Every structure is written in C-alpha cells, then in structure tokens.
Chains A and B, each alone.
Chain A
Amino acid sequence: MSTSEPDKLMIKADKMTKLTLTRWNADWRGATDLYEQAAVAYRRANDYEKAKIAFEKASKGQEMLSSPWDAAKHMESAASLAKDLKKWNEVADFYRRASELYNECSRAQPASDALMKGARALEETAPEEAIKLYTDACVLLEEDGKEQMAFDLYRAATSLYIKLEKYNDAASFLLRLGLAADKCNATNSQCKAYLGAIIVYLYAHDIEQAEKCYNDCAEINAFQGSDQNRCAVKLLTAYSEADVEEIKRVAQSSTITHLDHAIIKLARKLPTGDVTARNEASKEQEEPLDENDLT
C-alpha cells in the first residue's frame, strides 16, 4: 500500500505537466510539490532509481518556476542517489547541472561545492573526470576571488594526480596552489606548496626540473626567508652530492612532516633511482669545458 502512494503522486504530477486539449498550461507548482513528495517517499522506501527520477523531475519543475536554488538542491540529491546506484556518468552530469544552476543564482561557493562532491564521488572510478571537476571548481572559486577556499581543492587534485602517477601535472597543480596562496598572502601555504612541487619532481627523478623549479621559486621573497627554502636547499645539495644518508635525513625532518600526507609519503621514499648518476653527468659536462679552456 505505501509504495503505491508515491507512484500515484508521480502519475498525478505527470498528468499535471502534460499538455492536453483540456490543459493548456502545465501546473508546475502543484506538479513540483507532488514530485518532491514522491521523491522523499521513494527514498524512504529505499527505491533509489525512482527517487532519482522523481528528484530530476522536481528539479526541472523548480527550474520552470524560476527558482534555480531549489532546482540545484534537487539536482544534488538526484546526483547523490545516482552515486548510490553507481551510475557514474549520471553522477557527473547531475553535479555539473547543479553547479550551473547555482551559478545562475550567482552563488559560486555552492557551485564549486557541488563540483567538489562530484569529483570526490568519482575519484575511484573515473579519476580523469574527477580531475576535470576539481579544476572547474578551482576556476569557479578563483573567478569569484575566493582563492582560499580553493586550497583544499588543489590539495585533493594533487593527491589524485599523485595516485595516478602524473607527477608533472601534480607539480604544476602545486605551483598553481602557490599562486593562489600568493594572492591571499598565505605565505606558509605558498612555501609548503613550492617545497611540495620540488619534492614531487625529485620523486619523479627529474632533478633538472626540480632545480629549475627551485630557481623559479627562489625569486619569490616570501619563499626565500622561509624554513621550506632551507629544507629545499639541503635536499638539492644532498642530491647533487649524491649523499643518500643526507637525503634520508632531510626527508625525516620536521619541515617535510608538516606538508601534505601524499607528499610526505613521496618524500619518505626518496631517493628514487640512482642518485650518483647526477654527479657523473655534471662531471662529463665540465670536462669538455676544461679541454676548451686549455686549448
């Protein structure tokens, strides 16, 4: 008996929205109410599929009633139900639609929150999509001038990249974090971001890149006088001297322990690969120069 009630509501609501000869204007208000009730009833009855459909229709109804806020809220509920149903493409679509609706209300924060929830839901199954969502969310916040909220998003995206072993992208994201932090004068986060980027490059065993990165960052005043700078210098000198013990010791130091978890894990695994190769390569570069000098 109780399960058929929301069915009845749905049928009634559908009838109200269909345009027939007797009905010239769809009664969206009534229909939306009925859809909402049906959706709640379905959710309580654990019938997620139908509840999701009901939420979708309710959201459409709210849109017709020109209240994008409510529409977006319903869309989010639909998306969370889709997540339970494991329909990942629908999840992404719903969250994007919700964020668009939030944008219509010119509320950037909930819009980016919706994208963040979508990205988190999709981390395991569709990481590419998740990263796109994270990026869009960050862009939204930056446009709105609220970079500080974006820090968490950047960090999450970075850890996702690291999981996918896309170290260049991870490092570039960290540099973007540094840029955002610079805008809000969050020097501590900025320095931590730069140190993190250097560590990611070192983990990818791209020492030239790491040094280039360090040179770029060293021009920034905030980074120069910070603990993270000293730590980076120690790390890079340890690498150039091929001193494995020193590298390990620097990686255990407290400066690195205060960074993000994913980066700490990378740092603990340093050094990767053969460290001595660096010295020989630099020596080879020097020898031809010496010959030229002699002649």
Chain B
Amino acid sequence: MTVIDIPFRVDEICKKYDKYDIEKQREQNAYGDDQFARLYGTFESEIDSAFEKSERAAFEQNRAVSVALNAEIRRTKARLVAELPKLQKLAHKKVKGLSKDDLIARGDLVLALQERIESIPDGTSGGAKQSAGGLSTSAPNNNHIKFDSSDGNFDADYFQQSEESGAFRREYEMHRMKQDEGLDVISEGLEQLKDLTHDMNEELDRQVPLMDEMEMKVDRATSELKNTNVRLKETLFKVRSTRNFLIDIILLCIILGTVSSDATRRQPKFFIPTLATKDGAFKSIIPFRHGCVMCQASYYPPQGHAADPIKFAALPW
C-alpha cells in the first residue's frame, strides 16, 4: 500500500465509523429540529472565526493582508447583522420541548449576539478602543478631538488611517524630491550639450566655404602640376634623343679626363702667385715653407710661421 492510499483508507474508515462518533452525532442531532439553535450555532462559529481573523489582522505586518482581512471581517459582520432579524423571528417561534423562560432567554441571547457581532474589531472600530486607552502612536490632540466633538469616533478613525497613509505620503514626497534633483542635474547637462552642439554647428557652417575654396585651389594646383609634368616629359624626351646623349657622354669623359690628369700631374710651382718685393726677391703671396721641419711636412704651414722672403731658386723643389 502506498502513502497516497493511506488517507483514502483513513477517510473510508472514518466514514464507516462515523455513527459511533458521539460528539458529531450530538452536534447534528442536537440542532436537528431546532432551527433557532442551528442558526445560533452557525452565528457563534462565524463570530469566533471573525474574532480569530481580527486577532490575526492585528498582528499582521503586511498592510495589504491586514486590509484584506479587515474587509472580510466587515463583510461577515454585515452579513450577520443582516441575518439577525431572521434569528430574532426564530427566537420568538415556539419550539416543542422548550420552556417559556428559555424563549425569553433566547431573545436575550439574540441581543447579546448582536452586541458581540458589533464588537468584532475590523480595523475601524479598533481605533475607538485604542484611543480610549490612550495609545502612544496617536497624537495627544486626538483625544481632544475625540472628547470635544461628537464625531470623535470618526475623527479618530480618520486620523488613524492617515497615520499609515501619512507615512506613505512622506515616502512619496521624498522619492519625488530625489527624482526632481536628478532631473535638474540631467537638464543642466543637456543645456550644456545643447550649447556646445550649437557652437559646433556654427563652426562647421563657417568651415564649409573655406573647404570649398581649398578644394578649388587644390584642383587648380593639381591640374597645373599635371600640365607641367607632361611638358617636362616632352622636353626630356627631346633632350634624351640618342645622338645628343652620346655626344654628352663623350664630352663628359673628356672633361673628367682632363680634370683628373691635371690633378695628378699638377706642379705647385705652376700655380704659385708671386709678388715683386722691394729688394728684388720674389715673395710668394701664399704663406709658405721656410725650411723648418713643420713647414716641410705640410703644404700649408701652421699659423704663426712668417713668410720669409725666400729666393725662388732656394726652394727645395
């Protein structure tokens, strides 16, 4: 047998042995003929459940749940209050097996029931009791209002409600203020952006004709350059005809040859400029060797060596 089967089995067995359940039978049979008693019983059970709900609502943290519970309680109360007249009618009905005193007692019971129904706390009537007890959360002037005006009950309830909604409102205002601050920051940034973009726009507008001019000038320059290139090519082509080229090479070789031969064979004495001095000797303009070791070593003697008037013939070479 599986676990699921167990509850089914248990139910079957209970059903079978229900007739032996004394309390249940008593319940069912006790009010079997007495409609008043049955209705009274239902009333009592509903009132008890309403009380339970109200207790739960009092301790409930979640406001929405408590509000829902209170609404249910109020609905139940209204229903019960509506059905009370029926109960009263039944109370006055004569039922066999019941004494006169019991009949009167039933009427009292009905009245007591009415009071009990109205005493169920459903979130609105609770305020009256609390303010009467001097609740710490409600403001002191609440008592004044309650005592001073006949609508004290209502005002207290009203204020009690706005306690919760007051907190709501404060939170809402705070959030809105923060949002406003954020939006202010955003708007300032956007203003700056807008100004920057406007300036950029104008700057670009300024640049456009300049770019057009530049493009025109560059186009002109490129076309001129192309022309020049073409002409240069033609000129070079003319210049580079083979005959002229060969003649150029030959002449170049001759010139190089003469220059190189002159350089190797060149004798200094051919190129010395001379001057006639007072004593008849030739003095060279170029400061020259005068027989010392240093002068002999280099072609141009170091500074400071005087140019002696040397006889041309006395020179070593």
Contacts and interface: CB of A to CB of B under 8 A. Distances in A.
Interface of A: 146, 148-149, 184-186, 188-189, 227, 254-255, 258
B188 A254 contact: yes
A258 B199 CA distance: 10
Contact of A186 (B188, B192, B202, B209): B202
Contact of A188 (B192, B202, B206): B202
A258 B195 contact: yes
Interface in B173-204: 188, 191-192, 195, 198-199, 201-202
Contacts of B199: 188
A184 B188 CA distance: 28
B124 to A, nearest CB: 50
B42 to A, nearest CB: 72
Nearest to A255: B191
A21 B198 CA distance: 68
B191 A188 contact: no
A184 B202 CA distance: 9
Nearest to A189: B202
Tell which of B188, B202, B206 has the most Cβ of chain A within 10 Å.
B202
B192 A254 contact: yes
Closest 8 CB pairs of A and B: A188-B198, A148-B206, A258-B195, A186-B202, A254-B191, A254-B188, A189-B202, A188-B202
Q: Is the interface of A mostly helix, strand, loop or mixed?
A: helix
Contacts of B5: none
A262 B191 CA distance: 21
Contacts of B202: 148, 186, 188-189
B197 to A, nearest CB: 9
A208 B301 CA distance: 94
Contacts of B205: 148, 184-186
Contacts of B192: 254, 258
A230 B266 CA distance: 96
A151 to B, nearest CB: 8
A148 B207 CA distance: 9
Contacts of A185: 205
Given A148-B206, A185-B205, A188-B202, 15 more contacts: A146-B209, A149-B206, A184-B205, A186-B202, A186-B205, A188-B195, A188-B198, A188-B199, A189-B202, A227-B191, A254-B188, A254-B191, A254-B192, A254-B195, A258-B192
A275 to B, nearest CB: 27
Contacts of A188: 195, 198-199, 201-202
A146 B191 CA distance: 29
Interface string B209-236: 1000000000000000000000000000
A148 to B, nearest CB: 4
Contacts of A146: 209
Contacts of B198: 188
Nearest to B206: A148
A64 to B, nearest CB: 27
A149 B207 CA distance: 10
A248 B209 CA distance: 42
A184 B206 CA distance: 9
Contacts of A184: 205
Contacts of A189: 202
A280 B206 CA distance: 48
Interface in B22-77: none
Nearest to B191: A254
A193 to B, nearest CB: 12
B85 to A, nearest CB: 71
Tell which of A227, A255, A258 has the most Cβ of chain B within 10 Å.
A258
